[in-house]
Amino acid sequence: MNKWIVIGVVILILIASLSLFLIFPQQSENKLNDSLLEKCRNEPSQSSIDSCLKSLAMANNDASICAQMSENKPQPNTRDSCYSQIAFQTNDISSCYNIDEISEKDSCFNVVARKKLNGELCGEMSSSVKLESTGIPERDYCYIDIAISTKNPSLCDKIITPDSNIFWNKQKCRDATQKN
């Protein structure tokens, strides 16, 4: 009989523990993230700290962790890169708005717009970042690619490249949307 009482108590404890975890999962997750954040902060160099924070942000799809990285500098684990990677992973442009460097920001909007095939997101890009080989703003290429992919010629009207451009212009874009 004592054996059944012990088994019953163990089962009750397990049910109570599971219930608490299901009711308060965020608290457990926050404690885990806090301990991992602390581990990152104890890394030996700023580069290691940033790399650790970026990994943690990526694993949790949490752009707020990117904000804890050091200021942008020429290295692969910059804060801007962290925001971009979160945006790419989640297909959510909200992280793109946190990016400081204009070409990185445009790249972020561009990738998410193309992944979502949403031409309206191309409008978030700057018109000042141009492809060196053609002089065409990357924003126009974003509109062109999505217009062709979705066969939506109305996106071609948003192109600012002059009609005299030999590579792409509004009419060439419209024509391309009509092709199979």
**Residue 117 and residue 174 in one domain:** yes
The pLDDT of 54-82, averaged and rounded, is 84
CA–CA gap between residue 91 and residue 82 (Å, rounded): 14
The verdict on residue 12 lying in a domain is no
**Residue 80 and residue 35 in one domain:** yes
**Residue 59 and residue 94 in one domain:** yes
The verdict on residue 10 lying in a domain is no
**Residue 110 and residue 129 in one domain:** yes
**Residue 56 and residue 106 in one domain:** no
**Residue 119 and residue 180 in one domain:** yes
**What tens digit of pLDDT does each residue of 19-66 get?**
544 454 444 345 456 777 788 887 888 888 888 889 999 999 999 999
**What tens digit of pLDDT does each residue of 98-141 get?**
998 888 999 999 999 999 999 999 999 988 888 888 888 899 99
pTM for the structure as a whole = 0.74
Q: Say if residues 21 and 32 touch (Cβ distance below 8 Å).
A: no
Domain that holds residue 60: 31-99
